[in-house]
A and B are shown apart, each in its own frame.
Chain A
């Protein structure tokens, strides 16, 4: 399972489940400002 929470201040939290295989791309388990840039290695 993966999920995103949208906070009132415009920030986002991402979460991914321990049952998942591999590592989620992007935010997970922390806070990121809306508009944060992400890139694939």
Chain B
């Protein structure tokens, strides 16, 4: 269900100072006049070309004459510009109760999809309180379930709080080892207990409690990597978008959005010019699990827009893209700022690691000697250019 539009419009009405038409004007301009493709976009088109070639509408934009758009060539989305203009004039009702919704429903009906007019008309946003963690006197706010990220960032911070991370230092084997073990614990719990709280009992209080952190920490071996048990395999894409913004009136937004994989389902709906998401593959196809499919159920996510407060005042807001690598990377940025005393720029750029219980991915900027030491501690180290895309 395309829910983001409704959330954005409601947020603008509640907190914004500009009209929807004014807010959308830059996007309409970009879509109608086009923008220059970046080298990265060119690479993305090449990666998705095989599947996109099966759809004429999306190929016409990204694969003109059958070949991927090159960097600096213009990406023009005339049909999408008309869709945006309709929304800017008529609001979100154009999709949820109007002609844009009719186009979507008819397309779905003709192609075996399941989105009905009733689904669109009855869609409601849900406002939830953030998950709060207390870490060394800082208050960390993160997204609550169905998102997995806020819960597990809180859990990992609680476990790490008893270690003197600052004294241990940044980027050495001991620090990375403890980070890796904590990540594996979080992913093991995430596999078992992530989901829509309206459908499954996500044990937020237990997962974010200091007592549970103590229990998990006691099982960590400081000199040896352990298997913490991987659960349900996830198929989350890494092609999300994050934006952090603040204005002079004190409004702060940290927002992450996604159509999951690059170009989502890799087809374009004629008449709308939009690409649907392929987020359904995050559900567990087996019944009886936390992420099993059910009507009306909202999917989990690793999106991690986070805010850090000191003495009740907002000090940091951040986020990034990267699928299952998002919340571990957000955690490391927080540690960089709070424990390692890095500047903001240093904190977002510093080398990262990632593991979900299998290989330990370590960015190439981490020295060979550190990677060798981690290997000697039974980590299956894999050197990678980047952990999380941005």
Q: Which A residues form the contact surface with B (CB < 8 A)?
A: 1-6, 12-22, 26, 29, 34-36, 40
Contact = CB atoms under 8 A, between A and B. Distances in A.
Contacts of B246: 4, 6, 12
A4 B319 CA distance: 10
B248 interface: yes
Most buried by B among A1, A14, A18, A22: A1
B329 A1 contact: yes
Given A1-B319, A4-B344, A17-B390, 14 more contacts: A1-B320, A1-B330, A1-B388, A1-B390, A4-B316, A4-B317, A5-B315, A6-B252, A15-B349, A17-B320, A21-B38, A22-B40, A36-B248, A40-B26
Contacts of B26: 40
Nearest to A13: B344
B351 to A, nearest CB: 11
Interface string B27-39: 0000000000010
B129 interface: no
Given A20-B389, A22-B40, A34-B248, A1 B318 contact: yes
Given A17-B349, A19-B389, A6 B243 contact: no
Interface in B315-350: 315-320, 329-330, 333, 343-345, 347-349
B314 interface: yes
A36 B248 CA distance: 8
B375 interface: no
A6 B345 CA distance: 13
Contacts, number: 80
A15 B344 contact: yes
A2 B316 contact: no
Contact of B315 (A6, A26, A34, A36): A6
Nearest to B29: A40
Given A17-B390, A21-B40, A29-B345, A1 B242 contact: yes
B346 to A, nearest CB: 9
Interface in B213-248: 242-246, 248
B386 A19 contact: yes
A5 B245 CA distance: 11
Contacts of A26: 245
Contacts of A35: 248
Interface in B138-176: none
A37 B244 CA distance: 16
Interface string B375-390: 0000000000010111
B259 to A, nearest CB: 16
Interface string B249-261: 0001000000000
Contacts of A13: 344
A23 B134 CA distance: 34
Nearest to A40: B26
B313 interface: yes
Contact of A1 (B38, B245, B248, B348): B348
Contacts of B243: 2
Contacts of B330: 1
A33 B98 CA distance: 43
Nearest to B318: A3
Nearest to B390: A20
A17 B318 CA distance: 11
A3 B390 contact: no
A3 B40 contact: no
B348 A3 contact: yes
Contacts of B244: 2-4, 14
A15 B344 CA distance: 6
B348 A16 contact: yes
